[in-house]
A and B are shown apart, each in its own frame.
Chain A
Amino acid sequence: MAEAFRNKATPGAVPELESGITHDRPITDGVKLQVIDELCVGCSYCLMACKDDALIVEGLCEVIEDNCTDCLRCLLWCPTGALVYS
């Protein structure tokens, strides 16, 4: 599973996930969920998608890295491509 994420998790890319996923955390060092502020519109869709309380949206989206489990559910919902995994 981790392998699949490494290959597919590029900006804008949406890995097809079943709901209720459990998978290995990708182990590539330095690869993490980030927000491109210029693209984020603060719509909060990602907040709704996140099950780990790893996102805050107050104006723009911010990632709480300690809580993020790299499930990438938020990427699936981000309408503007502001969330990237790189």
Chain B
Amino acid sequence: MSERAKAVVIGAGVGGLASAASLAQTQKYDVSVYERMSFAGGRFTQHDHDGFQIPTGAVHMIPHGKKGPFAKLILGKRSSGGLDLGRHGVDFLPTTKFACRIKDGRLQRANSIYGVLPWFSFKDALNLPRLLMKPAKRPWGNETEDGRTWMSRYFSSDFIDFVDAFANFAISLRFEQMPASTVVRMLQNSFWSDRPHVPKGGCKGVIDGLRSDLRENGARVKLSHEVTEILPGDAEESTKDNRFCIGIRRRGRDEGVWIGADAIIHNGGHPNLLKALSDDFEVATGIREQVRDTQAVGGIGFVFALDDDIPHRGSGVTMLPGLERVGGYVIPTFSEPSLAPEGKHMMITHQYVPDPSVKSEITKGREDLYDAIPWLADHGEELCVHTYHRNWPCNRAPQGAELPSDVGIEGVRLVGDGVKGHGWMMVEGIASNVPGAVASVSSVMDTI
């Protein structure tokens, strides 16, 4: 047992747990996960509030459904690099519509991407191949043009507002805040993929599946344990045979303990990793500056309880284009009724945060919602408002920041929201980066 190489995963978010599960399934390594908070799942889980399964950040949505990187990682067979969590009851349920939009108080619904096209001008449909064929698998480099400027060359403002609302909803950014290549790749990925899906049992369904798998493979998940420092292995006698020596403190206790590790997967964001690393490590040139200059994005999401008489029946993402703040909403309970008490539905909205004054941003978002959704006042009740700003959550970089998973230290890789692959949004971005990070730390541990 003790002869196996020790892999430590810092942070039990969905990226950290999936990495840990990948490592543990090989049975070659001794895997432990340390999580600062008292629950696992980070922003991809939920808590129960009077029967409503309120998400901690994610909106109970797998954006690219069963065809995206997340499905490939979570549900894919082990022979093709997946975790095969279907064995633990994990499944994704399709949304009933591909996408919707509320325009001038009227709800439009589309069953596929092609169903969306008639909403817009002929010019938009004609120019769509230009967007889809544009090479954008990699960032274009030295980009000065933002996404909206690029899009406005080919598409009507009606169309741009629609997809911009989608970006606002999904990743809290507007097109003018992202490089053009990121916007192009993101839209291509969305176009070629499946409709969004809702995880069975909500986000926590996936997290529970990951934890069952970890348990089955002998990996530990330690909650309320915070990593304070990362030192070279020879810093302490007890860890001198390991590559790293990690300082860990149980929440609420003063004294820490040292544990050894041969490889680290860090799911706590670049700033926290750089802060934890001791001066003995040399970080690649330019990384510190790049991380310092990357502004984390904020977001605000309302959760509403709805009665069963709402005229909007269906669970696709509904875009609310042209609003000041809010991008859109989903009602996942039409796909997964267990997320709300019987006879009720749950609606989750999302908006970007251009101004640091969160209180006025919340007020603006609420005004947007009641203005744009005609039936909300009669059928909805606000349950809570989630906000993300300042240093919470720890792990978020804007889409298009392209921060590297590798900061130049052998045996350390980052996963999570801070290192989304190019053009992959939300959990798809997290999943697209996990296999590479796992392969990299595995090869380091295999050479010991």
What residues make up the interface of A, taking CB atoms closer than 8 Å to B?
Answer: 8, 10, 12-15, 41-45, 47-49, 57-60, 76-77, 79-80
**Inside 8 A of A41's CB, which chain B residues have their CB?**
387-392
> What is the number of contacts between chain A and chain B, taking CB atoms within 8 Å?
61
CA distance A15 to B224 in the complex (A): 11
Q: A44-B386, A49-B47 are in contact. Are A14 and B359 (CB under 8 A)?
A: no
Q: Say yes or no: A8 contacts B392, CB within 8 Å.
A: no
Interface size class of B (residues with CB under 8 A): 20 to 34
CA distance A76 to B251 in the complex (A): 10
Instruction: Identify the 5 closest CB pairs spanning chains A and B, nearest first.
Output: A13-B252, A59-B359, A44-B384, A42-B387, A41-B392
CA distance A13 to B250 in the complex (A): 9
Q: How far is the CB of B275 from chain A (nearest CB, A)?
A: 15
Q: Say yes or no: B391 contacts A80, CB within 8 Å.
A: yes
Q: A41-B387, A43-B386, A44-B385 are in contact. Are A80 and B392 (CB under 8 A)?
A: yes
Closest to B223 in A: A14
Q: How far is the CB of B15 from chain A (nearest CB, A)?
A: 17
Q: How far is the CB of A20 from chain B (nearest CB, A)?
A: 13
- CB contact between A8 and one of B47, B49, B252, B358 (< 8 Å): that residue: B252
Q: A41-B392, A42-B358, A79-B393 are in contact. Are A12 and B387 (CB under 8 A)?
A: no
Q: How far is the CB of A26 from chain B (nearest CB, A)?
A: 16
Q: Say yes or no: B224 contacts A14, CB within 8 Å.
A: yes
Most buried by B among A57, A59, A77: A59
CA distance A42 to B393 in the complex (A): 11
Q: Is B317 an interface residue (CB 8 A)?
A: no
Q: How far is the CB of A37 from chain B (nearest CB, A)?
A: 11
- CB contact between A48 and one of B54, B390, B391 (< 8 Å): that residue: B54
Q: Is B56 an interface residue (CB 8 A)?
A: yes
A-contact bits for B48-62, CB 8 A (1 contact / 0 none): 110000101000000
